[in-house]
Structure 1
Amino acid sequence: MPTDSSYAPVDIPDVGIWDFLFERNDRDFPDDKVIYVDPYTERSYTYAQVKQSAADLGKGLKSSWEWKKGDVLALYTPNCIDTPIVTWGTIWAGGIVSPANPGYSVEELAFQLKDSGAKGLVTQWDQLEVATKAAQEAGIPDERIILIGDKRDPSARFKHFTSIRNIAGTSRYRRTKVDSDKDLAFLVYSSGTTGLPKGVMLSHRNIVANNLQLRAGESTNLSWKPRPDAPNGDSVLAFLPFFHIYGLTCLLHQSIYAGFKCLVMPKFDIEAWCKFVQNYKITYSYVVPPVVLLLSKHPCVDKYDLSSIRMMNSGAAPLTRELVDAVFKRKGLKVKQGYGLSETSPTTHTQPWSSWYDTIGSVGTLLPNLTAKYMGPDETELPAGQVGELWIKGPNIFKGYHNNPEGTRNALTDDGYFKTGDVGYQDADGNFFITDRIKELIKYKGFQVPPAELEGILISHPSISDVAVIGVHKEELATEVPLAYVVPKEGKGSKELEAEIVEWLGKKVANHKKLRGGVRFTDEIPKSVSGKILRRVLKDRMKAELENGPVKAKL
């Protein structure tokens, strides 16, 4: 039988995101509560300022751009405290927000602009070169490109968003009404580790539901109100990208719904992260495993007082006991794990605070209003304890893939389940475990080898700074075998170190999980901005090496 959440169901109001955030009757924090802060410039927005500025921008869009319901505004920008304004200004006007990775090339951005049908583009001064070229390719005129952030265009060719927000004579415009279940709020694009990125269609109801599900999982532990261990209330340090659903929901939306102070970093920097935690007494941070790894090994961490951190929550990739133990032993930092995907808005599971250490390796339990089951290759349900593909059903499940009916049919069942493509199992206590992606499992003579499991063990080796495991075909064995790409902690690696690592791991794992593909040393492990290892990049590199000899260029 499918598993239902052990949480009491939450009531999901039939309202759009704007009503949910700004027209609610249950808000318990004041209008002048500071929500977003830029710790580099000290620029900030209160709750009331966000609401007013977003509404003004929405009116400006309707006035100057003749904005229509369902129009798409693309965002191509690093994290910025102006992002909430353009996001909810678009929502106010009935539009759809499509955030793009600020690291995209012209071709990658142009694809998203064209695929989403974006009517305009929001960017920052430093991204203008790529943004303008991509916009031109997608048929978006210069007057539909606007800037956010502290830098203006000295030539005034590209307007700052404040010029649209401050247009006079817009009081006649009214907020666009939406159908919370049918109308889209966001069109986010998957990381595209295989093929072209897919546009994930998220409705207003999807986002509203997931915010309430998140609050149910964290509400007894996180509050804007002062508490003995957090005299200024809880505060969150935000470096996860707002263009990714993890940052978009868990940081951008959760902060203003719950009233947390949210310090916005444009990107992750280990020294800056430690400094801001110390100086602002940050109590909570959403992280990814590579950040946990840095906190366990980077020398600068010892210089800072990080004791205000009450908990961290890791997502995007599996978190191992070795990493949890290492960061707790070094600085007393607690880190629990959660799970979700773009298609689930994103969070479906999280570890309870009370059992963060007892259930290390688990992504936690199902959040409210969700049902899940593990399925075998023949799509029959498996009992607890058996490994299969995770299927999930609930109000936060996406509406489908944009312009991709075949992909939608393959991902969503007729009775509403989403096939996650993630492999794992559930234990007798209702804890869920994710072992790997179906497409990334290594098959050695019929045995399945999860790369993430081997990576979790290898990272605890004292000579390894970072690691990724892929499957490579070994002709003489007529099968796929595990191979590790290793970033050595010191030096460039050697045959002796390779032999040591292979032997060391061989003593810790089952026979079919040994590194029969050996070890390759590299300068860095390629990862997406959300922290996922880009194994495709490594597989392409290995293929090139087999065809043309060793590749000397840095990844």
Structure 2
Amino acid sequence: MPSESQYPPIDIPNTDVWGFLFERKDRPYPDDKVIYQDPYTNRSYTYAQVKNSAADFGKGLKALWDWQKGDVLALYTPNCIDTPAITWGCHWAGGILSPANPGYTVDELAFQLKDSGAKAIVTQLPFIKTAREAATKSGIPDNRIIIIGDQRDPNGRVKHFTSIRNISGTARYRRTKAKPEDDLAFLVYSSGTTGHPKGVMLTHRNIVSNVLMLRAGEAGHLGWSNGPNGEGDKLLAFLPFFHIYGLTCLIHQSLYSGLQLVVMPKFDLEDFCRFIQDYKITFSYVVPPVVLMLSKHPVVSKYDLSSIRMMNSGAAPLTRELVISLHNRLKIPIKQGYGLSETSPTTHTQPWEDWNKTIGAVGTLLPNQTAKYMSPDGKEVPVGETGELWIKGPNVFKGYLNNPEMTAQALTEDGYFKTGDVGYQDKDGHFYITDRVKELIKYKGFQVPPAELEGILVAHPSVNDVAVIGIYNEEQATEVPRAYVVPAGGLGKGNKEADEIVEWLNSRVASHKKLRGGVRFVEAIPKSVSGKILRRLLKVKAAEEDKAKKAKL
């Protein structure tokens, strides 16, 4: 039988995102509460300022471009405290927001603009060249490019969003209400391992549901007493707002719960530590590479991070070794959560009090969901046995845009989403994720989860970072695990050091998990902005290495 959530069911209001955030009767904080803070410029938005700016921007969209329900606005920018006003202004006007990675090339951005059918694009001045070229390629006229942030176009050719917000004669426009279960709030693009990214269609109900589900999981903790300085909980945000993790857990949760969000445009370790110290940050959503840096980097010791009550890690598996390493060094508890773009995103989180009791678990199932682990032949596996996780709930996406075939593969007829993640649950309802279905290494019929080996290897004193992939060994006619290691103290390590790491790992794992592919030293592990290891790039590197080796023979 599928697992039910241990939380009591929650009521999900039949409203769109705007109504949920700005027309509620139970907001527990005042209009002048500062919600979004830029620590570099000290610019900020209160709740009232966000609401008014968003409504004015929405009116401007309608007045300037006759914005219609279902029109798509693309967002191509690093984190910015103007992003919430743009997001909900788009919703006020009945639009759909489609955030894009600011690291995209012209062609990558143009693909998303075309695929989503974007009618306009919002960016920042330093990104205008790429944005303009991609807009031209996808048929968006120059006068539909908008900039946000502190910089203005010195030539005055590109509108700043404040000019759209301040268009006169817009009082006659009214908010376009969305149908929560049918109308899209966001089109986020998931990176897949092959081919173009897929447009994930998230409805207003998906987002409203997940904010409330997440709130239930953090209930009684976030929004505590009043914080160390009387201002309540403060969250430090560096996770990208173009990713669903940042969109829901940071932008939406902070406004709904009245938490101040200190916004970094990108991650910088020293600034991260400095802002925790200066702003008395109490909570941060992080990813495993950041946990690794906090547990090992010398610069961390310069700062007082004692205001942090808890961190929550997501986006990639967090291992026992990293949790213990961080806590031993800084005494900061860290729990884990789990989710996907297709689930809006959060489906599981560890209860605060369980962070050190169930290390390695992604937590328990949040309310209003059911889940089950399935075998490759489509049968549910018993508790304790490994399978692919399937999830059902109001947070599960509507489907992939313009891709009925992939949608049919991902969603079952009875509404379960096949996550592609492998794991198991224990008898007490704690869920574990061990790896991706497509990333498991198959050694002579045995499954080897790369994340498990990585979790062990990061505890080695000579390892600063590591990624494990499977490479095909012709002599053994099977895949074998190989580790790519960023060594402590920099490059220049040789066979002796590599062999020592291999032996150290092999003494700690079952025979089929041994590093039969050896160790290779590298300067850095390729990762996405959300912290996921880009194994496909390492596989290309491995193929090139093996080709060069054969050429020498």
For the criterion TM > 0.5, the same-fold answer is: yes
Query: How many angstroms does 1:91 deviate by?
Result: 0.4
Per-residue CA distance 1:203-227 (angstroms, 9 max, x = gap):
0000000000000000210106515
Q: Contact 1:70–1:184 at 8 Å: present in 2 too?
A: yes
Give distance in 1, aligned partners of 2:195 and 2:436.
Answer: 16
Give distance in 2, aligned partners of 1:217 and 1:500.
Answer: 43
Structure 1: runs of 5 or more not aligned:
none
> 1:364: which partner in 2?
363
User: SS where residue 378 of structure 1 aligns?
Assistant: coil
Change (3 A) 1:230 1:482: farther
> 1:445: which partner in 2?
444
Pairs within 5 Å for 1:424-435: 424-435=423-434
Change (3 A) 1:178 1:194: same
User: SS where residue 435 of structure 2 aligns?
Assistant: strand
AA matched with 1:124: Q
Give distance in 1, aligned partners of 2:550 and 2:303.
Answer: 41
> 1:140: which partner in 2?
140
Query: How many angstroms does 1:550 deviate by?
Result: 10
> 1:253: which partner in 2?
252
Change (3 A) 1:343 1:456: same
Query: How many angstroms does 1:301 deviate by?
Result: 0.5
Normalising by structure 2, we get a TM-score of 0.98
> 1:405: which partner in 2?
404
Query: How many angstroms does 1:191 deviate by?
Result: 2.0
> 1:538: which partner in 2?
538
User: SS where residue 200 of structure 1 aligns?
Assistant: strand
> 2:297: which partner in 1?
298
Give distance in 1, aligned partners of 2:36 and 2:191.
Answer: 27
Query: How many angstroms does 1:177 deviate by?
Result: 1.5
Per-residue CA distance 1:239-290 (angstroms, 9 max, x = gap):
0000000000000000000000000000000000000000000000000000
Give distance in 1, aligned partners of 2:192 and 2:36.
Answer: 30
Confirm whether residue 107 of structure 1 aligns to residue 107 of structure 2. Answer: yes
Q: Contact 1:224–1:261 at 8 Å: present in 2 too?
A: no
Normalising by structure 1, we get a TM-score of 0.98
Give distance in 1, aligned partners of 2:156 and 2:537.
Answer: 40
> 1:86: which partner in 2?
86
> 2:494: which partner in 1?
494
AA matched with 1:277: I
Give distance in 2, aligned partners of 1:549 and 1:97.
Answer: 48
Q: Contact 2:211–2:252 at 8 Å: present in 1 too?
A: yes
> 2:384: which partner in 1?
385
Give distance in 2, aligned partners of 1:266 and 1:491.
Answer: 28
Change (3 A) 1:107 1:224: farther
> 2:326: which partner in 1?
327
User: SS where residue 301 of structure 1 aligns?
Assistant: helix
Give distance in 2, aligned partners of 1:48 and 1:384.
Answer: 48
Give distance in 2, aligned partners of 1:256 and 1:292.
Answer: 26
Per-residue CA distance 1:434-478 (angstroms, 9 max, x = gap):
000000000000000000000000000000010000000000000
Give distance in 1, aligned partners of 2:229 and 2:285.
Answer: 17
AA matched with 1:183: D
Give distance in 1, aligned partners of 2:527 and 2:515.
Answer: 22
Query: How many angstroms does 1:548 deviate by?
Result: 4.0
Give distance in 1, aligned partners of 2:182 and 2:47.
Answer: 28
AA matched with 2:190: S
Query: How many angstroms does 1:178 deviate by?
Result: 1.0
Give distance in 1, aligned partners of 2:96 and 2:159.
Answer: 21
AA matched with 1:101: N
Query: How many angstroms does 1:194 deviate by?
Result: 2.1
> 1:69: which partner in 2?
69
> 1:318: which partner in 2?
317
Query: How many angstroms does 1:28 deviate by?
Result: 1.1
Give distance in 1, aligned partners of 2:102 and 2:536.
Answer: 21
Give distance in 1, aligned partners of 2:70 and 2:534.
Answer: 33
> 2:165: which partner in 1?
165
Work out the percentage of aligned pairs sharing the same amino acid. Answer: 71
RMSD: 1.1
Per-residue CA distance 1:122-165 (angstroms, 9 max, x = gap):
00011111111111111111100000000000001111000100
User: SS where residue 476 of structure 1 aligns?
Assistant: coil
Confirm whether residue 275 of structure 1 aligns to residue 280 of structure 2. Answer: no
Give distance in 2, aligned partners of 1:111 and 1:78.
Answer: 19
Give distance in 2, aligned partners of 1:397 and 1:12.
Answer: 14
> 1:15: which partner in 2?
15
Give distance in 1, aligned partners of 2:362 and 2:320.
Answer: 12
Query: How many angstroms does 1:545 deviate by?
Result: 2.3
Q: Contact 1:93–1:176 at 8 Å: present in 2 too?
A: yes
Give distance in 2, aligned partners of 1:482 and 1:542.
Answer: 12
> 1:527: which partner in 2?
527
Confirm whether residue 152 of structure 1 aligns to residue 152 of structure 2. Answer: yes
Give distance in 2, aligned partners of 1:437 and 1:550.
Answer: 31
Give distance in 1, aligned partners of 2:214 and 2:147.
Answer: 32
Q: Contact 1:15–1:179 at 8 Å: present in 2 too?
A: yes
User: SS where residue 466 of structure 2 aligns?
Assistant: strand
User: SS where residue 14 of structure 2 aligns?
Assistant: coil
Query: How many angstroms does 1:543 deviate by?
Result: 1.4
AA matched with 1:92: W
Query: How many angstroms does 1:544 deviate by?
Result: 2.2
User: SS where residue 294 of structure 1 aligns?
Assistant: helix
Q: Contact 1:451–1:468 at 8 Å: present in 2 too?
A: yes
Give distance in 1, aligned partners of 2:385 and 2:219.
Answer: 32
Q: Contact 1:224–1:260 at 8 Å: present in 2 too?
A: no
> 1:52: which partner in 2?
52
User: SS where residue 168 of structure 2 aligns?
Assistant: coil
Give distance in 2, aligned partners of 1:339 and 1:393.
Answer: 14
> 1:309: which partner in 2?
308
AA matched with 1:276: F
Give distance in 2, aligned partners of 1:309 and 1:401.
Answer: 38
Give distance in 2, aligned partners of 1:326 and 1:432.
Answer: 22
User: SS where residue 541 of structure 2 aligns?
Assistant: helix
Q: Contact 1:37–1:81 at 8 Å: present in 2 too?
A: yes
> 1:478: which partner in 2?
477
> 1:454: which partner in 2?
453
Confirm whether residue 237 of structure 1 aligns to residue 253 of structure 2. Answer: no
- Number of aligned pairs? 550
Confirm whether residue 97 of structure 1 aligns to residue 97 of structure 2. Answer: yes
Give distance in 2, aligned partners of 1:547 and 1:172.
Answer: 67
Q: Contact 2:490–2:523 at 8 Å: present in 1 too?
A: no
User: SS where residue 271 of structure 1 aligns?
Assistant: helix
Q: Contact 2:441–2:448 at 8 Å: present in 1 too?
A: yes
Give distance in 1, aligned partners of 2:390 and 2:53.
Answer: 40
User: SS where residue 193 of structure 1 aligns?
Assistant: coil
> 1:394: which partner in 2?
393
Give distance in 2, aligned partners of 1:550 and 1:518.
Answer: 17
> 2:464: which partner in 1?
465
Change (3 A) 1:550 1:520: farther
User: SS where residue 167 of structure 2 aligns?
Assistant: coil
> 1:129: which partner in 2?
129
Give distance in 1, aligned partners of 2:195 and 2:526.
Answer: 17
Query: How many angstroms does 1:524 deviate by?
Result: 0.2
Query: How many angstroms does 1:200 deviate by?
Result: 0.2
Q: Contact 2:482–2:517 at 8 Å: present in 1 too?
A: yes
> 1:24: which partner in 2?
24
> 1:375: which partner in 2?
374
> 1:221: which partner in 2?
221
AA matched with 1:467: V
